[in-house]
Structures are given as C-alpha cells and as structure tokens.
C-alpha cells in the first residue's frame, strides 16, 4: 500500500508544528546508517515531542495499518532503524523527546526520555557523583531509547551488565496506541510478568519506548588500567578468573587483543605505539575501578596482586600499568582503534559472537582453521569483550586479494563461523542485535520452538504487524499470524 | 471436567515407575503449604525424573485440556503451587529432577535441574570457592525451579539482585509439550526477544522450568556485620547512600528494624538480647562482604568509615560491630526472628511492599496514620530490605483485641495499605509473588493496559489455559481469550 496525502496530512497534524519533516534533503539523514549498508525511503519523518503525540500517531497508524519504523540516535549497525525501500513506512524519530524528567539520588535512579543522548545521561549522573555505566563508541550521538531497544552492551558489561541490567522502569507506546505507564524506581516488584523485559532488545518491534527510569551506581573515582601480554587465549581466560577473584569484583573491563590487531593499530593509527618492547601473540587490556577511597583500597596494589598471581602461574609474560589518565587513554586507544585500523588493511568481514568464556580458546582454534580452509591467507583479528564471552571476530582480507572479491565471501564466511558458534551453543549476535541484517541467521539458527514463541509474542502484542515489520523476525515469519 | 481413570492411567505410564503418587495420605504433603492458608485436591501427583517425561505429560494434558499445577519445594507464601479444591488439576512435582548437570568454573556458571534444593546449589558453588548468592529463609527446602518461577528475592538482593539477575539460561517445557532448549552460559545474546525473562516470575503459568544455568560469583571470604541505631527512617535512607558510596559496592545487606520489633524478639525469642544499652526507635542491620584479601581491603576499616561518616551527620546514634561469626549470627537473629516473634503478640496482618527507597520515610508516616485510623491501637512492625526499597509491613494486633476480630480486618487493612502503595507508584508484592492470594489485587491495582498485555502473552503461549490456571491472573481474566 502507498501512503495517501490524506494520511500524511493527518499524521503531520497529530505530530504538531515542527513535528515532521518531508523535505527529501532533510530526510536523508534519517534514511541511511553509519556504515552505509542500508538505504531507506519514506514519505514522512515524524518528530513528536511528547508521549501523547507518539500515542496519537501510533493509534492512527494502527487503525490504518500503516507500518512504523522508530528511530532514536540511528547508530545501530544492523539496519534496524532504517525503513525499507518500498516507501510505505513512516519513520518516527524520538530525538525531540529529550527531557530529563527526574533525578532521585537517594534511590540512585533517574528518569529520562528516549531521545536523550547517552553522553548527556552519563553527564547528568556524574553531576550527582554517580555513574550511568553504559558506555560505547557511539555514546556522543546514540540515544537511550535505542540503547534500551537494542539492549546495548559496550565496555562496562563485565561489572555492570547490559542495558537490560541498568533499567528499572519503562514508558512505552504499544502498537495499539495505548500508553503503558511502567516508569518506576522499584528494585523489586513481583506482580505478574515483568513486562519491561519484553521491550528491551525488541528493536522497536513490540512498541516504542518513550521514557525510562535508569539505575545509577556510585561514581568510581579510582581506576587502574593495565595492558599485559599472555601466552595464549587459555591463559587469558585463567587470568580473568584470577582477576575476578583477587579484585573483589572491581574488574570492570577485560578485553582481548591479538598481536595482528595491535600491529595494525600501531602501523596505521597516528600516535599509537606498542607499549611493550617485545612482541607477543596475545594481549589483554584489563581495568579495575572502585568508588572506595584510596586509603581503604589501593587499586594499584590490587592490580599488582592480580599480575603477581598470574605471573606465578606463567599466565602473564609482560605488561604495563598506566600511571595516569593519559597513559590509560593510550592503552585504551590500542583497543578502541582496532576496527578503524583494520580498514587500512582492505576488506574486513565481521562477526559479533559470544560463547561460554571457558570455551573461547577452543573456539578461536577452530574458527582460525575454518577461515584458513575457506579463504587461505585471510587474517582473523578476534578482539573484544573476553570478560563477557563476547568477541568481535573480524577477519581481514588476504594481502594479495582484491577487496571486492573478499567481501563477496561475507555471507559464506558468516555462515561457517556462525555454524561453529551454534556448535558451541553460542550467539551469532552478542550485542549488535538482528535488525534487517541478520534475519536470515534467525531462520537458520533459532529452533522452531524459539521462533514460534517469538512469533506468538509478536502477534499477541502487534497483531497488525505495524511495528518495525521485517526487523528481528523475517517478514514472512512475523506476518504469518500465530 | 473430571479426570477419568483412563487419563490417570496414561499419565502414570508417561511418568514411569516411581513416577507418581495417588495415595491420599502420601499426597497430602503436596496439597497444603507452610502457612496452611491453602488446601488443594488432586487425583494424582506426578513425579517425573527427566525433562522428556515432563514434556510427554504436558503434551498429553494439552491434548486433553487437563490443567497442571507445577510444584518444586512448595515453600511459597501465596498459594501458587497448590491445586484448587475442584480436584480436576494434576500436580507435577519436580523434586525428582535434582541432578546438578554441569559446573563451569572459568565461566562462573553451573547448570542444575529444577528440583535441586537451594542450599545444595549454594554448597556446590561453595565447593569451587564461589557463591550462588540467592539466600532466603526456606533455602533448606525450597528448590531452584520455584526460586526462578517466583523470581525469589531474599537477603542478598542489594548487591547481587533477584533470582532474575542470577540466571543465564533455561530449559522449559512449554504448555504445548514442546521443550525449549535455552540452557546457555552466555552473558550476552541479542538474538531476538529474551525468552527466558518470560518464565522468571511467571509462577508456572507459561511453562515448567526443568533446568537452569546459574551465574556464580567469587566467594566473599570477608564479612562485617553491624547493628546501629538511627534517629528515624530518613536517616536510615541517608545512611544507605553513604554506605553504598563509601563501601565501593561491598554493602550486601541493609535491613530496617523498628524498636517495637526488636522488643518482640528480645522478649519472646530465647537467647536474643538488645545489643545496645539504650533504647532507640529505629535500627539498621548492615553487612559488607568482599572476596578481596584483607591485606588489600580491610572491611573492618570500611565499616568504621561508614559509621564515622554517618556519625558526623548525626545519622547514627549508637551501634555495635560484630567481632566474629557468632556475634554476626546473633545480630542477624534479631532480624530473622521478627516474623516468628510477632506470633507471640497475637494476630499479624502482613504486607510485602516496595516503593522507591527515597520515599520510604514518607510512606512509613502515612501508613502508620492509616493503621491507627483504621484499627486504633494496632502496632505496625515494618521491617526488612530497606536497601531494596522492600519492607515487610506487618501489623500486630492491638493488645486488648481478640485475635480473630483483628484477623477479620486482613483484607480491609491490605486494601488501605495497598492503595497507599499505589499512590507511591510502589508494588503490592515485592518478592512473594501473586499466586492465588493476590489475584484480586492484580485486578484492582494493575492498569487495563498491563492486564491486557499479560492476558495476551498468557493466551499466546498457553491458549488452552492449562498451566497453573487461576494463578497470577484471576481465572475469569486468564480464561477469557485475548
């Protein structure tokens, strides 16, 4: 179906003055995403500035079976916030819903609207000497509604958990246009099904998150960052166990970096240098943080103890501890520039996988064999959140291969790596979600029992399939009524 | 409908030898609960010893629309594991499914069956120097399936969260008889809706949990327990904020005790004595724990610092720090014997409520006014998990009143206190769940939007309403097809 002028005019009215955009040049920023993999079309971008307007728009769309794509910061990597090319979907941007409604220091919570930028939320928490610990590369532009709708991960999951663990309550506009007033600062509430869980990670397919009550923690004023060489991934896993135990839960980041990745970063990224004199095969970036005063807990001694214990067991070969914030930032740079550095080495085929932490060493061996058998000379650069069992298993092209030839193998390599992940009972999308990119993986790797449950839940809450159709569940699956 | 002999015989066959019980004397233990408030009837208790048998039984029941009541430790307080008196429901006990399937120290996880007793799970974790931190009064007999199905709370929620936060994966027999193989040790998995969240706290209305992969933490070898007098609940809330900040997250328990409760305990419970020389109106039991070695973090100094900071602000009037485990146990006894001690003071009308922590002082003032207006002379004994915003707002009868006259006011007082809780955007069942006891509260306090969503989810997963019908959603609500 096509959107009639009558529909468009009514929707504009519902969204109010300044509440819409239909100039193609102005709309273009909403219709493509950071990596440029997805381009969409729409006749209208709606920009409502309060929850009631969102509800009025959704109710009208439900009555007229108009499909909706919700969008906040539009920083997702899987095309979940981009309409299809059919042009028959309206896009609702939450960016004008950016009020911070309430801060409650004694409850360690704050209530913010979906369009608040993550960095602004972090800063507001910081203003009351607290931390909202969700932290990821896009934090300067991503918005809290999208963070929750995708159950965002990032660099602090090891200690604080995913976005799901940082949430106390939600306000949601349902596919019917009803508003669910689920904002609450409660830590405990066992009155029936925990409805908020449904909307976290649902990527806008079950409703539109308009506001959230977030959980804060005391700000950790102490920090220690170390970058250490380890003999192999197995040693890294054992080092993690020691670090968790010795640090008393102060370990907040534990990132794996392979030699190949470090070389790409030091070679291509200005100002990045190898902090160790000798070359080693594998590295771990680990960080401890604490809100304890230094006279009660000296994190420098904690880090030294972790490394001493690990050295005794030959789990660590060499290492450096940052003496100050700028040294810490330099060490983090080695980790954070990995994706960017890979671009200088030609094409890169990416995976965002997780397995049980204990099985990472075996997974890495088998995955490397698969890559070599499939594309001889291709160079795996597995890196990332080992502490969460989550690796970005990126593979750089063979040096002598044409980039386009290599990138044509994207789906083939994904298939083989994800098949291996399935053998390990792992996840083919640990933190990036499904969007439009991985719906075929859903069909391949999820059991019929799981898909059946998801399909029934989708049909129960969105019987007309108007909420972000085609995202998470392939169109033919979500449209088939359970 | 009634259960025919043919049905009963087939169900016995499906459950196998030793897999059922139909002797009324043997069945009686399954048909009443600890407080004796609920009595049920059934023609058959099934005791399957593996997941496939559970699935076979459920599939047969689904085909023949036979209602099922799942039960594990049968320690719940709201009648959720007791069949109705109609006698047409079969009871499935999970107690024979008590294998610990797998322990994975490097992944800090273990996989256990639903019928494992909580204390045994705690011990298995302890054997590998870890803690499974779920801890509650019934831990010697409650079972992990029920703990998860009711999203159990207990005394360690402040630091470790509810049962929901301690879970990585689930195996569930769905109302169709299909098995969902969702056991996983993954920390991160964003592949569609997080299905396990649905079954946690669903009290067996959406399926039967048969096994779970649980999250462990390093065992905390250090502990400090203090019992302090505070001027009022507002000071207790401020003390909590200080304790959270100063302790660096080591604060694992923060329990409120009123003078009236302390007097009941010291008066009625043998061996319990007031640890302070002077009488004060309010007390807090606080505990810090850590897996850090004492040479790195001395929890005694941390506790002293908390109390010093609080004394400076007149938030603490007096207090005692336990010098050893037996002193710690004595202090905990003052808190743990509160319910028992109240029995010696006649009837007690109970509430299990939560509000935002910051609003507890105001809530307590208003609740006391309501109690006095409604039943002059009745004695509120609000105590419990202030650190979670969760209080057991128990009210002892006036001294001169007949117990039965007082207890007749149960529903009336509940109504008024729960109305107040609603004004505070709180929960009328913070940790005990709904069961059969609080379904009328569901109808009164949940919005039609919330009930509508729950009803649609229930109908989507259990279209024949065979799974624990009448629990959580009132029968007329859950039976009405969405």
CA distance B368 to B370: 5
pLDDT in the model for residue A35: 80
pLDDT in the model for residue A1: 53
What count of residues does chain A have?
482
Residues of A in contact with B218 (CB under 8 A): 244-245, 248-249
pLDDT in tens, A335-371: 999 999 999 999 999 999 999 999 999 999 999 999 9
CA distance B469 to B204: 9
Say if the Cβ atoms of B193 and A201 lie within 8 Å: yes
Say if the Cβ atoms of A192 and B390 lie within 8 Å: no
Burial level of A223, CB count in 10 A (0-12/13-18/19+)?
middle
Residues of A in contact with B195 (CB under 8 A): 450, 453-454
For residue A13, report the phi and psi dihedrals to the nearest 5 degrees.
Answer: -60, -45
Residues of B in contact with A434 (CB under 8 A): 190-192
Q: What is the DSSP string of A418-447?
A: HHHHHHTT-BSBSSS--TTTTHHHHHHHS-
Burial level of B84, CB count in 10 A (0-12/13-18/19+)?
buried
Which one of A109, A190, A200 has the shortest CB-CB distance to B432?
A190
pLDDT in the model for residue B478: 43
Residue B228 has what DSSP assignment?
A: E
What count of residues does chain B have?
482
CA distance B254 to B388: 8
Residue B97 has what DSSP assignment?
A: -
CA distance A413 to A415: 5
The residue of chain A with its CA nearest to that of B193 is A202
Residues of B in contact with A456 (CB under 8 A): 460-461
Burial level of A376, CB count in 10 A (0-12/13-18/19+)?
exposed
pLDDT in the model for residue A162: 97
User: How does the average pLDDT of chain A come out, rounded?
Assistant: 96
Token pair 């790596």 is found at A417
Size of interface A-B (CB pairs under 8 A): 314
Query: What is the C-alpha end-to-end distance of chain B, expressed in Å?
Result: 23
Q: Which two tokens stand for residue B16?
A: 């196998």
Q: Which runs of E-coded beta strand occur in A384-428?
A: 390-396
Residues of B in contact with A125 (CB under 8 A): none
CA distance A214 to A169: 7
The residue of chain B with its CA nearest to that of A197 is B197
User: C-alpha angle B390/B164/A171, rounded to 5°?
Assistant: 70
pLDDT in the model for residue B474: 79
Average confidence (pLDDT) over A240-247: 96
Residues of B in contact with A304 (CB under 8 A): none
Task: Name, in order, each residue with C-beta under 8 angstroms of B73's C-beta and a sequence gap of 6 or more.
Answer: B95, B117, B118, B138, B141, B142, B143, B146
Element (H, E) at B478: helix B475-479
Residue B69 has what DSSP assignment?
A: E
Say if the Cβ atoms of A191 and B445 lie within 8 Å: yes
Q: What is the DSSP string of A44-81?
A: -EE---SHHHHHHHHHHHHHTT-EEEEESS---SSSTT
Which one of A178, A202, A450 has the shortest CB-CB distance to B449?
A178
CA distance B353 to B349: 13
Which one of A193, A441, A454 has the shortest CB-CB distance to B202?
A193
Say if the Cβ atoms of B197 and A202 lie within 8 Å: no
Element (H, E) at A173: strand A167-173
CA distance A177 to A64: 12
In angstroms, the separation between the Cα of residue B165 and the nearest Cα of chain A is 8
Say if the Cβ atoms of B461 and A449 lie within 8 Å: no
In angstroms, the separation between the Cα of residue A290 and the nearest Cα of chain B is 6
Q: Which two tokens stand for residue B437?
A: 């006891």
Task: Name, in order, each residue with C-beta under 8 angstroms of A183's C-beta and a sequence gap of 6 or more.
Answer: A111, A169, A170, A171, A211, A212, A213, B425
Say if the Cβ atoms of B432 and A180 lie within 8 Å: no
Query: What is the C-alpha end-to-end distance of chain A, expressed in Å?
Result: 23
Helical spans, DSSP H, in B51-139? 51-63, 118-127
Smallest CA-to-CA distance from A397 within A349, A353, A355 is with A349
Task: Name, in order, each residue with C-beta under 8 angstroms of A159's C-beta and a sequence gap of 6 or more.
Answer: A133, A249, A250, A251, A252, A289
CB atoms within 10 A of CB B444: 13
The residue of chain A with its CA nearest to that of B298 is A296
The ipTM of this complex is 0.96
pLDDT in the model for residue A53: 98
The residue of chain B with its CA nearest to that of A103 is B358
Query: How far, in Å, are A281, A288, A289, A328, B188 from residue A316 at the CA level?
Result: 12, 17, 21, 19, 27
Which one of A157, A188, A248 has the shortest CB-CB distance to B187?
A157
Interface with chain B: mutation pick from A101, A128, A190, highest number of B CBs within 10 Å: A190
Dihedral sign, Cα of residue B58, residue B59, residue B65, residue B66: negative
Residue A466 has what DSSP assignment?
A: -
In angstroms, the separation between the Cα of residue A184 and the nearest Cα of chain B is 7
Burial level of A54, CB count in 10 A (0-12/13-18/19+)?
buried
In angstroms, the separation between the Cα of residue A123 and the nearest Cα of chain B is 18
Say if the Cβ atoms of A358 and B151 lie within 8 Å: no
Residue B397 has what DSSP assignment?
A: P
Average confidence (pLDDT) over A46-62: 98
Say if the Cβ atoms of B356 and A107 lie within 8 Å: yes
Task: Name, in order, each residue with C-beta under 8 angstroms of B135's C-beta and a sequence gap of 6 or more.
Answer: B122, B154, B155, B156
Task: Name, in order, each residue with C-beta under 8 angstroms of A217's C-beta and a sequence gap of 6 or more.
Answer: A108, A130, A131, A133, A160, A291, B249
pLDDT in the model for residue B476: 56
CA distance A139 to B467: 44
CA distance B159 to B148: 18
Interface with chain A: mutation pick from B191, B255, B437, highest number of A CBs within 10 Å: B191
CA distance B58 to B65: 10
The answer to whether the CB of A181 falls within 8 A of the CB of A433 is no
Residues of A in contact with B430 (CB under 8 A): 186, 188-190
Which one of A190, A385, A450 has the shortest CB-CB distance to B180?
A450
Q: Which two tokens stand for residue B232?
A: 């009022």
Q: Do domains B222-339 and B345-423 have the same CATH topology?
A: yes
Average confidence (pLDDT) over A73-97: 96
User: By percentage, how much of chain A surpasses pLDDT 70?
Assistant: 98
In angstroms, the separation between the Cα of residue A377 and the nearest Cα of chain B is 30
CA distance B335 to B283: 10
The residue of chain B with its CA nearest to that of A292 is B248
CA distance B116 to B141: 9
- The CATH number for A1-219+438-482, chosen from 3.60.15.10, 3.30.465.10, 3.40.50.300, 3.40.50.150, is 3.30.465.10
CA distance A341 to A268: 6
Q: Which runs of E-coded beta strand occur in B365-420?
A: 379-383, 390-396
The residue of chain A with its CA nearest to that of B292 is A248
The residue of chain A with its CA nearest to that of B451 is A192
Say if the Cβ atoms of B237 and A194 lie within 8 Å: no
Q: Which two tokens stand for residue B313?
A: 């602000």
Which one of A184, A201, A389 has the shortest CB-CB distance to B194?
A201
Confidence of residue A33 (pLDDT cuts 50, 70, 90): confident
Which one of B200, B359, B456 has the shortest CB-CB distance to A461?
B456
pLDDT in the model for residue B1: 53
CA distance B23 to A58: 57
Interface with chain B: mutation pick from A192, A242, A426, A441, highest number of B CBs within 10 Å: A192
Element (H, E) at A217: strand A217-218
Say if the Cβ atoms of B357 and A220 lie within 8 Å: no
The residue of chain A with its CA nearest to that of B440 is A191
CA distance B259 to B311: 20
CATH class, domain A345-423, is alpha beta
In angstroms, the separation between the Cα of residue A390 and the nearest Cα of chain B is 7
For residue A457, report the phi and psi dihedrals to the nearest 5 degrees.
Answer: -65, -45
Dihedral sign, Cα of residue B293, residue B298, residue B303, residue B305: negative
Q: Where are the domains of chain A?
A: 1-219+438-482, 222-339, 345-423
Token pair 């931190």 is found at B133
CB atoms within 10 A of CB B118: 27
In angstroms, the separation between the Cα of residue B25 and the nearest Cα of chain A is 33
Residues of B in contact with A157 (CB under 8 A): 187-188
CA distance B190 to A203: 10
The CATH code for residues A222-339 is 3.30.70.2190
> Strands A67-71 and A89-93, how do they pair?
parallel
pLDDT in the model for residue A475: 65
Token pair 């998990």 is found at B385
The answer to whether the CB of A56 falls within 8 A of the CB of A177 is yes
Averages of pLDDT over runs of 10 residues in chain B (482 residues) are 89 97 96 89 97 98 97 95 96 98 97 98 98 96 98 94 98 98 96 98 98 97 97 98 94 97 97 97 97 96 97 97 97 96 96 97 98 98 97 97 97 97 98 95 96 97 97 66 36
Question: B445 in the Ramachandran plot: left (φ > 0), alpha (ψ -120 to 50) or beta?
Answer: alpha
Strand order in the sheet with A109-113: A100-104, A109-113, A208-215, A167-173, A179-182
Say if the Cβ atoms of B188 and A432 lie within 8 Å: no
For residue A272, report the phi and psi dihedrals to the nearest 5 degrees.
Answer: -95, 130
Residue A253 DSSP SS3: strand
């Amino acid at each position: 179906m096509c959107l009639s002028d009558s529909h468009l005019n009514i929707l504009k009215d519902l969204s109010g003055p300044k509440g819409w955009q239909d100039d193609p040049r102005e709309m273009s920023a909403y219709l493509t995403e950071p990596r440029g993999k997805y381009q969409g079309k729409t006749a209208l971008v709606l920009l409502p500035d309060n929850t009631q307007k969102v509800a009025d728009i959704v109710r009208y769309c439900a009555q007229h079976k108009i499909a909706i794509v919700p969008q906040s910061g539009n920083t997702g990597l899987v095309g979940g916030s981009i309409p299809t090319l059919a042009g028959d979907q309206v896009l609702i941007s939450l960016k004008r819903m950016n009020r911070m409604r309430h801060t409650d220091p004694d409850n360690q919570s704050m209530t913010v609207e979906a369009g608040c930028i993550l960095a602004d939320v972090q800063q507001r928490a910081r203003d009351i000497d607290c931390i909202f610990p969700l932290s990821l590369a896009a934090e300067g532009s991503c918005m809290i509604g999208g963070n929750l709708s995708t159950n965002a991960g990032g660099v602090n999951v090891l200690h604080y958990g995913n976005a799901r663990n940082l949430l106390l309550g939600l306000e949601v506009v349902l596919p019917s246009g009803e508003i669910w007033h689920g904002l609450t600062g409660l830590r405990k509430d066992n009155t029936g099904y925990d409805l908020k869980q449904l909307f976290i990670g649902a990527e806008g397919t079950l409703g539109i998150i308009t506001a959230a009550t977030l959980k804060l923690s005391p700000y950790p004023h102490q920090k220690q960052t170390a970058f250490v060489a380890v003999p192999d991934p197995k040693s890294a896993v054992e080092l993690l166990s020691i670090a968790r135990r010795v640090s008393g839960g102060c370990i907040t980041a534990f990132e794996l970096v392979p030699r190949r990745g470090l070389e790409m970063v030091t070679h291509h990224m200005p100002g990045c240098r190898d902090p160790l004199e000798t070359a080693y095969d594998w590295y771990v970036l680990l960080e401890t943080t604490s809100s304890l005063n230094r006279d009660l807990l000296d994190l420098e001694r904690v880090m030294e103890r972790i490394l001493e214990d690990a050295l005794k067991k030959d789990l660590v070969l060499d290492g450096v501890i940052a003496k100050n914030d700028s040294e810490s930032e330099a060490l983090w740079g080695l980790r954070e520039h990995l994706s960017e550095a890979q671009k200088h080495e030609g094409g890169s085929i990416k995976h965002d996988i997780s397995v049980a932490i204990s099985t990472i060493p075996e997974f890495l061996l088998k995955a490397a064999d698969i890559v070599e058998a499939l594309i001889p000379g291709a160079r795996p650069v597995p890196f990332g959140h080992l502490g969460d069992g989550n690796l970005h298993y990126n593979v750089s092209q063979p040096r002598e291969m044409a980039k386009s030839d290599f990138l044509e193998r994207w789906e083939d390599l994904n298939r083989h790596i994800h098949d291996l992940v399935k053998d390990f009972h792992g996840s083919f999308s640990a933190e990036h979600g499904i969007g439009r990119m991985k719906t075929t993986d859903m069909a391949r790797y999820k059991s019929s029992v799981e898909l059946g449950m998801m399909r029934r839940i989708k049909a129960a809450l969105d019987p007309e399939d108007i909420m972000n159709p085609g995202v998470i569940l392939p169109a033919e699956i979500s449209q088939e009524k359970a």
